[in-house]
Amino acid sequence: MLLEISGFSKHFGGLAAVSNVDLNLEEGEIRGIIGPNGSGKSTLFNLISGVYQPEPGGTMFFDGENVTGLQPHEIARRGIARTFQMLRIFAQMTVLENLLVGHHCHTHYGTPSAIVGRKAVWEEERRVRSEMMDLLAFIGLADYARMPAGELSGGQRRLLALGRAMAMRPKLLMLDEPAAGLSPVNVDKLLDTVMALKERYGLTVIIIEHILKVVMDTCDVVSVLEHGEKIAEGPPAAIKDDHRVIEAYLGKEMDDAEVRAYLRSS
């Protein structure tokens, strides 16, 4: 098991955004997390990445280590990278700098060396910059390296958010609705990039996704959230036919024909 989460809960006031969720991931797996709007998917990501502390009773083990309650930067250092639903790219920094920030943890030189400008520092900077340029080329943004990230188009921003997470050289990559707002062609392109990165670096991936088709096509296992609870989990084919899931997802009861039509169209 790469990631073992048990009993994660988070309340906002009286609202149970996530309640008593378990999640276990095998190394190399692609996990989909689906669920209607407000079902707690992003909150679950925030719990995993340390943005929120889980309530007492929740535990999280990553790569065999107990990482329950660690700060976000400590979680990140252990090899968990995430993207945000609202991307949160550094708009005023250049595209390349965004990736360099992602690479932060892998810096070898220390603060004093950086301040006095030792040779080792700029040699490493040079090397890392060229590594990041290669990564930019891989995700197709090399031409924009020195452009302020705020000037990128919507699709390019999504790629950059992905690139910044990849610059962290993570073991586990968590993507929060990575394809939201993209045209179908760009959705496919983005997913191809994700898959290529996964193959190349042997990643484990969790994707939160609204577009059912994306989840069904790409994921090994799908977990379904509703009102903060995990109501189903299994391979896409099984999930697809689970009436509870479909009802939860669509928020109403449907007959089989309607459901099939929906799944085809989405």
Tell me which residues touch another protein (CB under 8 A).
49-51, 71-73, 76-77, 81-82, 84, 88-93, 96-97, 100-105, 107, 109, 111, 114-117, 119, 121-122, 125-127, 129-135, 137-138, 143-148, 151, 164, 168-169, 200-201
Using CB under 6 A as the binding rule, whether residue 58 contacts ligand ADP is answered as: no
Binding flags for Mg ion, 83-102, as an x/- string (CB under 5 A)? --x-----------------
- The smaller minimum CB distance to ligand ADP, of residues 144 and 249, is found at 249
- The smaller minimum CB distance to another protein, of residues 145 and 254, is found at 145
- The smaller minimum CB distance to ligand ADP, of residues 80 and 149, is found at 80
| Torsion angle defined by CA atoms of residues 63, 64, 69 and 73, in that order, rounded to the nearest 10 degrees | -30
- The smaller minimum CB distance to another protein, of residues 12 and 122, is found at 122
Please report how the helices 256-265 and 243-250 are oriented relative to each other, as an axis angle in degrees rounded to 10. 60
| Torsion angle defined by CA atoms of residues 45, 51, 52 and 53, in that order, rounded to the nearest 10 degrees | 110
Tell me how many residues contact ligand ADP (CB under 6 A). 11
| Structural tokens at position 33 | 């997390």
Query: What stretches of the chain adopt beta strand conformation (E)?
Result: 3-12, 15-25, 30-34, 59-62, 65-66, 80-82, 172-176, 204-208, 221-226, 229-234
Using CB under 5 A as the binding rule, whether residue 42 contacts Mg ion is answered as: yes
- The smaller minimum CB distance to another protein, of residues 77 and 240, is found at 77
* Secondary structure (3-state) at 2: coil
Residue 121 contact among Mg ion, another protein, ligand ADP, none, beta carbon within 5 to 8 Å by kind: another protein
Using CB under 6 A as the binding rule, whether residue 17 contacts ligand ADP is answered as: yes
d(CA 179, CA 210) in angstroms, rounded, equals: 9
Using CB under 6 A as the binding rule, whether residue 83 contacts ligand ADP is answered as: no
CA distances from 92 to 16, 89, 144, 203 (A): 36, 9, 14, 29
Beta bridge partners of 32: 207, 222
Q: Are 266 and 211 in contact (CB under 8 A)?
A: yes
Which of the residues 28 through 47 are near ligand ADP (CB under 6 A)? 35, 37-43
Give the residues lining the site for Mg ion (CB under 5 A): 42, 85
- Contact footprint for ligand ADP (CB under 6 A): 12, 15, 17, 35, 37-43
